[in-house]
Amino acid sequence: MVHEQHIIPKIKDRTAVIGIIGLGYVGLPLVIRFGEEGFRTIGFDVDDSKVQRLNSSESYIKHIPSETIKRLRDNNTFNATSDYAKLREVDGILICVPTPLNNTREPDVSYIETTSDEIARYLRKGQLIALESTTYPGTTREILLPKLEKKGLTVGRDFFLVFSPEREDPGNPTYSTKNIPKVVGGITPACTEAGKTLYEQIVDRVIAVSAPEIAEFAKLLENIFRSVNIALVNELKMLADKMGVDIWEVIEAASSKPFGFMPFYPGPGLGGHCIPIDPFYLSWKARELNFNTHFIELAGEVNTAMPEYVVSKIADALNQEGKSLKNARILIMGVAYKKDTDDIRESPGVEIIDILKNKGAEVDYHDPHIPAFSGMRRYPHLAMKRVELTEATLKQYDCAVVITNHSVYDYTWIVKNSKLVVDTRNATAHIKNSKIVKA
């Protein structure tokens, strides 16, 4: 019997059990969507503290309420585990593990490899495996497929393998897992059909493509498009600053054109798991083919230089006030990489803190969504707790630096009570005050 003939009915009648490996910003929303559609799910994570918190109905992601986890737990449709032997119990396996860069800015696919080894160990006939982690074109076919075929099972007949890139946007009030279209590309047409059927149960629109490499490349194109355009506007921001021109007003004026222009906005650097990392997966793969990706490399140079640029603007602003950066007291406002979230991954705010400290400044931070942080991959030496944001607190600092423009901040009040404000997000656009320096 061709196993496609019974996995698809199991998916359609909601009797398929779904296993999701990696319970972070991508995996946990998928758990919730499958649970909302009546599927029983098992979540896998190597972090036992996450497993324990989820099994106690507690969320550790700000935009996912604990009540949502509790509802799934009360309905007996979800449990979390670190025991990969339970992969035998599931029909569909979704891989949502990190794909960082190593110290030389090359792809680190070790999490995918380790996870693939665990899946291969417990693989049985009829299972569908979907890789969601962003990676370079060829990963699904070159890394996962050989590991899974070692048991003598045939892809497209005995098991099904697809790539379907995550498109999560934490904290987005308009787009969520359900209404963001899903791209799916399988090793064989039967794989694609099985993957398409699975995702059709939880998202409004599924786009089937001819191969996993198409889906892998599409995800990178999405983020490279953003990276290059952000780099362009960051570079123009620095030029506009030298010319005494307000780049934010320039962007607003250009945005009045109803065709042929899409606004991108400058900032203190790139954050999150996608844009600072994903483009380098493709540039690394290109080097294997003796091909230079000039736009990607140049965009990376511009964007990674932005934290240093912000620090130079802070130093210049302090100098105008007759103060040195060394021993200056600086308050960083917002360390989440994105407005109104608690996501600190690859945050430029943390890098700016590190640079400032290395230059001798005394640095504290406030973020309404992040009470403390420590043990980060790039900055394991940093361990900080936020200070309270009060009138007395603000007046203690030589400079307040707006890194993340959280909605809860009262910028008029912040400017009023600060000696100096360096604004990297144009959050103070509505305020006319000589204390404000744009960066």
Tell me the per-residue pLDDT of 108-132, one tens digit each, with 9 for 90 and over: 999 999 999 999 999 999 999 999 9
Q: In this model, does residue 24 exceed pLDDT 50? A: yes
Annotated active-site residue in 96, 191, 274, 399? 274
- Top CATH class of 4-210 equals alpha beta
User: If you search the block for the tokens 């403390």, which residue do you land on?
Assistant: 372
Tens digits of residue pLDDT in 260-302 = 999 999 999 988 777 888 899 999 999 999 999 999 999 999 9
What number does CATH give the domain 305-439?
3.40.50.720
Residue 5's pLDDT is what? 55
Residue 3's pLDDT is what? 54
Burial class (CB in 10 A: 0-12, 13-18, 19+), 218: middle
Q: Do domains 4-210 and 211-304 have the same CATH topology?
A: yes
Residue 274 annotated in active site: yes
Interatomic CA distance for residues 195 and 132, integer angstroms: 12
pLDDT band at 70 (very low <50, low <70, confident <90, very high): very high
Q: In this model, does residue 66 exceed pLDDT 60? A: yes
Q: What's the mean pLDDT in 295-314?
A: 96
Interatomic CA distance for residues 298 and 235, integer angstroms: 11
pLDDT band at 4 (very low <50, low <70, confident <90, very high): low
Rg (CA), the chain: 24
List CB contacts of 164: < 8 A, sequence separation 6 or more. 130, 131, 132, 182, 183, 184, 185, 195, 199, 215
Residue 1's pLDDT is what? 42
The number of residues making up the chain comes to 439
Residue 220's pLDDT is what? 96
Q: Following DSSP, what letter does each residue of 240-287 receive, concatenated?
A: HHHHT--HHHHHHHHTT-SSS-------S---SSSTTTHHHHHHHHHH
Tens digits of residue pLDDT in 143-169 = 999 999 998 999 999 999 999 999 988
Nearest Cα to Cα of residue 140 among 166, 118, 109, 104: 109
The encoded tokens of residue 417 equal 């009570």
The encoded tokens of residue 41 equal 């799910």
Within its chain, how far is the Cα of 255 from the centroid?
27
Q: Name the fold adopted by 211-304.
A: Rossmann fold (3.40.50)
Q: In this model, does residue 345 exceed pLDDT 80? A: yes
Q: Who has greater pLDDT, 169 or 22? A: 22
Out of 12-21, 95-104, 152-161, 410-419, pick the least confident: 95-104
Domain positions in the chain are: 4-210, 211-304, 305-439
Tens digits of residue pLDDT in 371-429 = 999 978 788 899 999 999 999 999 999 999 999 999 999 999 999 999 999 999 999 99
Widest distance between CA atoms in the chain = 80
Model-wide pTM > 0.85: yes
By percentage, how much of the chain surpasses pLDDT 90?
90
* Mean predicted lDDT score pLDDT of the chain: 95
